[in-house]
């Protein structure tokens, strides 16, 4: 499996809703025309085919330090990080429930954050 280039990119949007932080990644690729191309199964298949599943773990590590700095000792990953949302904009006229969302276990994200922090402080 080739992973070169998969971890490039930017976080398109971070927002807070009901004291939970979410990361949004806008996708411009077309999965087809009409609602049938944007079913939960089709979105999952597209996510796996493009290996977006490898991208959203480090992306979720993005808002964690800011949330922790803002909330201090009250911060808890599982309570305050809502997950990531992938919005397929070419299917935006289809049913809105068919965007892809996910979250990752707090231990994974916190471990990644420590790994990234160690690299920044060297």
Residues marked as catalytic: 25
Look-up of token digits 């919005």: 87
CB 84 within 8 A of CB 102: yes
- Close Cβ partners of 99 (under 8 Å, ≥ 6 residues apart): 43, 85, 86, 87, 88
- Close Cβ partners of 71 (under 8 Å, ≥ 6 residues apart): 80
């Amino acid at each position: 499996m080739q992973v070169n280039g998969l971890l490039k990119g930017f976080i398109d949007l971070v927002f807070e809703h009901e004291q939970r932080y979410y990361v949004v990644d806008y996708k411009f690729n077309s999965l087809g025309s009409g609602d049938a191309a944007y079913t939960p199964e089709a979105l999952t298949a597209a996510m796996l085919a493009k290996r977006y599943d490898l991208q959203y773990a480090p992306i979720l590590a993005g808002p964690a330090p800011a949330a922790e700095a803002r909330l201090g000792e009250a911060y808890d990953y599982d309570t305050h990080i809502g997950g990531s949302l992938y919005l397929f904009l070419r299917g935006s006229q289809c049913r809105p429930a068919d965007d892809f969302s996910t979250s990752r276990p707090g231990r994974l994200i916190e471990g990644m954050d420590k790994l990234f922090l160690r690299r920044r402080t060297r």
